[in-house]
Structure 1
Amino acid sequence: MDSLKAGELAEVVLLRPEGSSLELNSSSVIDLEVLEDERTSKRQTRYGAAILKDTSDPYYAHLMEFSDVVSDDPPSVLPPDRGVRHEIDLVQGTKYCATRQWPLPKEQVDVIDAFFAAKYAAGMVRESMSPHSSPTFCVRKPNGKWRMVHVFNKLNAATIPASTPLPRKDVLQNNMAGCTIFSALDMVDGYQLVMRESDIPLTAVSTPSGMLGEWLVMPQGLSDAPATFNSLVAQLFRPMRQFVQTYFDDIFVRSRASEGKAAVEAQLGHLREVLLCMCENRLYANINKCIFGAEKIPFLGCLFGKDGVRADPEKVCAIAQWPVPVSEKDLRKWLGLANYLHKYSANYAEMARPLTNLLKKDAVWSWISEAKQAFEAIKSSHQSAPILALPDEERPFSVVCDASDFAIGCALLQVDVEGRQRVVSFQSRQLKAAKKTTPSTTRNFWR
């Protein structure tokens, strides 16, 4: 298992062998009937909007003091130049990126006109004579409001991808080990960065009413926008990396009891530093999506707490309640969701084999009993997924391997401070045809 390297421990191929006596401590079966209760549990009551209703909450004073940067209605103003600008470098030979605007219903036209009137007033958009042009339309949000969409397809296709290093989820997750209280701030990711002056004409957008305007700030929809925003928050919060993690437009603040301070006291101090930095740099977060001082937080597709990491109950619910696929397209969608949680499921690759066989080239669609059993087995596996431990690099690890005629895998284990053997991660993969004839004793040592 040559992949057992520092910083890559959660990436090892993992599986629990059949008949193993391995005990999955802290396992957690997700009851679909109580999922609604969990959605309104303690981690839900820690949302910023709920805290503002309780003046006795220890985080109430912070939210009131910094209400200008953590609110449900961030100001629409031209951001300062913080040293990071969004840049668009085009592939050599690119001429003009222009797409004709199409007609839209009057309701959308009125919404778009009102949107741009506000952006003009804020100094974020100006009239343009650019040869480039991308159309605009709207989509309805779940809350009933409209989301503005610019069709930058041609511009994005001609853009050289940014080579900015992106954060690894597993590294961020492992850095949270040992902490007991957390906050998560969801940044308003649009219009918080200025454009490089020479690239402003590339952002020209048209509207159904005949306007052509260009953005002075980074609009949503540009292919490299997430990388640029990630660069900004990483730069600003780097001095706080001992207690802050950033992932694109998400900021995670972690704390533990130390130096005579209780965990809550430490968290309040850390959070104040973060909010001061946001205030000084005019960065804004949506209070309705921010969580403060929680023992568990949604963390990059999972649910994170002091005891470890578990699959997000809402994702497990979506998997479990998915209807039986009636086509190859339906099955691909469901497997895409189920694969996202594969590290919580022992023997996943073996279970999924009858389903992936249906997606092979020239395969005839037939929902036979084997496929049905695999479908239900994966659902059940995700519902009984264990809480995975976070790796402690000061303690030894062990690996349990297994192989079948169709798949290989292993489980990365570690004994915690209480003497319990915990699973750090599960992974597995199916064998390619050329390797299915290899003796099983050899397969056990493959990655």
Structure 2
Amino acid sequence: MDRADGQKDSRQDGRARKLSPNKAKDEGAINTIFGGPTTGKSNRERTQEIREAMEARRDLDVNSIEPDPKRLKEGWDPIVFTEADTHGLDVRPNDALVISARIGYREVHRILIDNGSSADILSAEVYDQLRLDRKDLQPFPTPLRGFGGVEVRSLGTVKLPVKIGKAPCQKTVLLNFVVVDTENWPYNALLGRPFLNKAKAVTATYALMMKFPTEYGVGVVKGSQEMARRANLSVYKDREVHQVYTVTAQQKAGEPEEQAEVPKDFELDPREEPEDRKDEPTQEVALDPEDQSRTVKVGASLNVHVKTQLVKLLRDYKDVFAWNHKDMLGVDPKVISHHLSINPEFRPVVQKRRLFNPERSVAIKKEVEKLLSAGSIREVKYPEWVANVVLVKKKNKQWRMCVDFTDLNKACPKDSFPLPRIDQLVDATAGHELLSFMDAYSGYNQIRMNKADKEKTSFTTDQGLYCYKVMPFGLKNAGATYQRLVNRIFARQIGKNMEVYVDDMLTKSTTAEKHTEDLKETFDVLRKYQMKLNPSKCVFGVLSGRFLGFQVHQRGIEVNPEKIKALEGMASPKTLKDVQRLTGCLASLNRFIAKTTDKCAPFFKAIKKGKGLEWSTECEEAFQKLKEYLGRAPILSKPVVGETLYLYLSVTEVATSSVLIRLEEGIQKPVYYTSKALLAAETRYSPAEKIALALIISARKLRPYFQAHTIEVYTDCLLKLILQKPEVSGRLTKWAVELSEYDIRCTPKAAIKGQAVSDFIAEFTEPDTEVRRAMEDEQTTKFQWKLHVDGSSNTHGSGQE
């Protein structure tokens, strides 16, 4: 019998064995045997609960059961299990329902679903891997009682969110876990009746499935037979379990040990570990039967039906890929071409030819020959503008040849064509079930240069003078031209099933079954305009991937693992440039860090102007704490259209900060963190002005969210009074007018129901009484009057001296 699952009383089991098999008469009923931990209540309270249950049953007329309309929720679909739910299972009556779910911010495997347990249990090992401090555990003196009344003492309790299901049919519930430290327990966690009741989940052990109602329909979680049987096997093979998880006596004695395979599903999701984060596994698929080297990557976790459809589509559209420069046909100049708008006040510049060592000269020669054979460049005579080439080392240690268009770029005014906001593109990508990441093959080179401007792109090498026939990398407005192209040709898809930032393209689908159809629409456009993809940089049909510097997936947005790895491997700064490099790395992670400016305040003090680097103990502690924080950086959630978002504000002596959150099944999920250092003048603002400043800075930084959603500001300060009566100072009047375009509501602080929000200590550091006193003084000052009279008047008469 599996442990911690509501075990049976051995005395009742003994009585059952004594019954004669010949006894056929009715001798009463055997009631349900309850197990698991006690609830911490007294015996008197439990007796009262039993009495209330019996009274409720007597009051119920079983012949006319009517549902209570107050307890029904709209949108509930009927939960039904059919024979189809068992397809693909090796059905056996003793397989437990073992699932994977997200606990806290980690994906946890080997979770036992136990209808007989009156508690939700978490192993101490998983608790430690969640990077939670055992000091935060709440005391729980009542022991867990198992089979035969055996007691197990707990370490305490902790509240953690648990997410089950796949988007959009997902559900998150907040559970009070009992943390236990037991040896050889085969499960990482156990979800009992408290979880099932909160999630309103129904289980079918025959189908190894659990279903539950959500706002978008019935959610489904399938059990893993492999995990269940691994767990069952480990119960009866203690010796093997010890070899996997502990140091055996043989190892201590130096004797050879038997190699035991570590169950791959015991550990938490390895993608969450910063030192071992890897991209989603993929597999190579050959597109051309006659040339097996022409392959593309597809997600390894796709089900057979979706994968078959996807591979067939990729082979049907193999012509949208380019395997070398000769395969690029280029976009028709009638669609778009790149024009140079040169200011006539600038005179043409011919740069002096640079000399290169033999290794670089050979690399330049090879690159020129490749571009000539591809038709991307041609020889030119008597050009007015001539630039030098520059070589840059790539990650694979090969050379990349670029052209130094510095002088030409100075003569060209900046094209003001807007590029998409990266934050909005990333938000729009998260939350989809399947994604395909695509990269154009030498994307800029697929656009032709305007005939009159070709010779202005001339460059010099040892082989001669050449000019570009296609748009080269390095031109000032090349990105704007490319964005114009993709905005035009993908106009019907952008925002619906596709996102594009210059030459980074992504096709997204809300369901796996629809992904092939969405990709076909993308490929039709690519084929129509003769745009080619780079197969080595494309990945199709994956659950997650890197897009514009972020890790996006169905659950939300994460920090790019490469950035975390670079920061964790960074040594303590020793020079001013090292500190500047550190602050530059953190700038790209601001969205994920609560109160960034406060955490980095010691770094800014260390690089004050006029002083050398003063790396103090305070700086080192802040540096190490920042590394630790980023190791468990939160997953940012994607807002749903039309929902209300909530804002916590924080003001310290040096900065204002905020966190925008959304509620998902009662759990607070972070959407965006902001932080800004206070200027010298701003540090002298009154408390009322500081809290208003925190709101105005957040509104400016998070303008798209403020425009699209109702924002509820959680604060105990008199912010509403400040905004409604801004006559106190001119800047408050200006801010009130600026904020009037948004739907902002102020409410008292609510209970914090999310770890990421509790990390952000969203409280005004000035005492609340001081804020109120300052506001009262400002309001009182406004109503003081001075009376000036020329004479006097009283009950005895009037007059004037």
Q: TM-score scaled to structure 2, two decimals?
A: 0.49
Moved runs in structure 1, 4+ residues, more than 6 A? 26-29, 52-56
1:96 is paired with a residue of what secondary structure?
coil
Deviations 1:250-292 (A, max 9, x none): 1111111xxxxxx222111111111121122121222121121
Q: What is the aligned counterpart of 1:433 among 663, 666, 680?
A: 680
2:316: which partner in 1? Answer: 65
Q: What is the aligned counterpart of 1:250 among 504, 510, 534?
A: 504
2:627: which partner in 1? Answer: 379
1:49 is paired with a residue of what secondary structure?
strand
- Confirm or deny: 8 A CA contact 1:308 1:388 kept in the other structure: yes
- Confirm or deny: 8 A CA contact 1:310 1:386 kept in the other structure: yes
Query: 2 CA distance for matches of 1:439 and 1:26?
Result: 42
Change (3 A) 1:328 1:123: same
- Give how far 1:301 is off: 0.9
- Give how far 1:125 is off: 1.8
2:522 is paired with a residue of what secondary structure?
helix
- Give how far 1:187 is off: 1.3
Deviations 1:337-392 (A, max 9, x none): 11111111111110101102223311331110111112112222222211111112
Query: 2 CA distance for matches of 1:427 and 1:401?
Result: 10
Change (3 A) 1:191 1:55: farther
1:411: which partner in 2? Answer: 659
Query: 2 CA distance for matches of 1:169 and 1:122?
Result: 33
Query: 2 CA distance for matches of 1:320 and 1:440?
Result: 38
Change (3 A) 1:320 1:247: same
- Confirm or deny: 8 A CA contact 2:431 2:556 kept in the other structure: no
- Confirm or deny: 8 A CA contact 1:177 1:391 kept in the other structure: no
Match status 1:91 vs 2:338:
no
Match status 1:114 vs 2:362:
no
Q: What is the aligned counterpart of 2:457 among 200, 203, 206?
A: 203
Query: 2 CA distance for matches of 1:26 and 1:157?
Result: 56
Query: 1 CA distance for matches of 2:283 and 2:631?
Result: 24
Aligned partner of 1:186: which letter?
A: D
Change (3 A) 1:162 1:433: same
Match status 1:224 vs 2:224:
no
Change (3 A) 1:172 1:141: same
2:515: which partner in 1? Answer: 267
Query: 2 CA distance for matches of 1:55 and 1:309?
Result: 24
- Confirm or deny: 8 A CA contact 1:25 1:422 kept in the other structure: no
- Confirm or deny: 8 A CA contact 2:388 2:461 kept in the other structure: yes
2:416: which partner in 1? Answer: 163
- Give how far 1:310 is off: 0.9
Query: 2 CA distance for matches of 1:319 and 1:133?
Result: 41
- Give how far 1:322 is off: 0.7
1:259: which partner in 2? Answer: none
Match status 1:360 vs 2:608:
yes
Change (3 A) 1:318 1:393: same
Q: What is the aligned counterpart of 2:586 among 321, 338, 344?
A: 338
Deviations 1:72-100 (A, max 9, x none): 43535552325221111123411112211
Aligned partner of 1:323: which letter?
A: A
Query: 2 CA distance for matches of 1:399 and 1:124?
Result: 52
1:51 is paired with a residue of what secondary structure?
strand
- State the structure with more CA Rg: 2
Q: TM-score scaled to structure 1, two decimals?
A: 0.86
1:356 is paired with a residue of what secondary structure?
helix
Query: 2 CA distance for matches of 1:423 and 1:137?
Result: 44
Match status 1:133 vs 2:386:
yes
Query: 2 CA distance for matches of 1:268 and 1:372?
Result: 51
- Give how far 1:336 is off: 0.6
2:667: which partner in 1? Answer: 420
* Aligned alpha-carbon RMSD (Å): 2.7
Query: 2 CA distance for matches of 1:424 and 1:393?
Result: 13
Q: What is the aligned counterpart of 2:538 among 290, 294, 300?
A: 290
1:347: which partner in 2? Answer: 595
Equivalences for residues 22-33 of structure 1 within 5 A: 30-33=272-275
Match status 1:310 vs 2:551:
no
Query: 2 CA distance for matches of 1:255 and 1:123?
Result: 37
Bigger drift between 164-173 and 324-333 goes to: 164-173
Query: Which has more strand, going by share of residues?
Result: 2
2:216: which partner in 1? Answer: none
- Confirm or deny: 8 A CA contact 2:298 2:541 kept in the other structure: no
Change (3 A) 1:391 1:404: same
- Confirm or deny: 8 A CA contact 1:63 1:70 kept in the other structure: no
Aligned partner of 2:466: which letter?
A: G
Deviations 1:98-126 (A, max 9, x none): 21121212333333233323433443222
User: Unaligned stretches of 5+ in structure 1?
Assistant: 1-22, 257-262
Change (3 A) 1:366 1:341: same
- Give how far 1:70 is off: 2.5
Query: 2 CA distance for matches of 1:238 and 1:46?
Result: 31
- Confirm or deny: 8 A CA contact 2:299 2:541 kept in the other structure: no
Query: How many residues in Structure 1 have an aligned counterpart in Structure 2?
Result: 414
- Give how far 1:303 is off: 0.6
2:566 is paired with a residue of what secondary structure?
helix
Query: 1 CA distance for matches of 2:692 and 2:631?
Result: 29
- Confirm or deny: 8 A CA contact 2:326 2:374 kept in the other structure: no
Larger RCO (CA under 8 A, 6+ residues apart):
1
Query: 2 CA distance for matches of 1:178 and 1:141?
Result: 33
2:318 is paired with a residue of what secondary structure?
coil
Change (3 A) 1:24 1:347: farther
1:212: which partner in 2? Answer: 465
Query: 2 CA distance for matches of 1:296 and 1:55?
Result: 16
